[in-house]
Amino acid sequence: MHFGEHLTIDGYGGDKKKLNDKGLVLGCLNELPDLLGMRKITEPQVVVFPGNDSKDPGGVSGVVLIAESHISIHTFPERRFLTADVYTCMDDMDTKFILDYFTKEFGLQDIEQNFLKRGTRYPQHNID
């Protein structure tokens, strides 16, 4: 038993135009929860960030809160790089579907992924 599942994605070699598209990031954050059977509890928030130093040249960042946790996306068009998190308290996350989705939407050439089971000692019952 565990509380949730957390997929982290580091995408390389993405399409610079797609990675710089605020509307695309917003569309993904609107669409992906529905495709995964999750329920949005807020509208997605997306901002264009100009960067803060040589390591972070800026890009588009967004997040949507879902009843099951959250999905976030951060793009770095100048590096053709993307990071994303899909965290849910649901079981049996379809990681292949999610990886294929991000690959297609952002034209990624390579992906690093990490999959974590969260709360492996999550209490079975309320403590208080």
pLDDT, one tens digit per residue, over 75-90 is 999 999 999 999 999 8
Give the model's pLDDT for residue 75.
98
Point out which residues pair with 64 in neighbouring strands: 71
Domain range annotation of the chain: 4-118
4-118 CATH fold: S-adenosylmethionine decarboxylase (3.60.90)
Quick one: average pLDDT of 88-108?
A: 96
Asked about 69 being catalytic, the answer comes back as yes
- The model's pTM: 0.93
Query: Annotated catalytic residue: which of 28, 61, 69, 70?
Result: 69
Query: Annotated catalytic residue: which of 61, 70, 72, 74?
Result: 74
Asked about 89 being catalytic, the answer comes back as yes
> Which position has the higher pLDDT, 54 or 67?
67
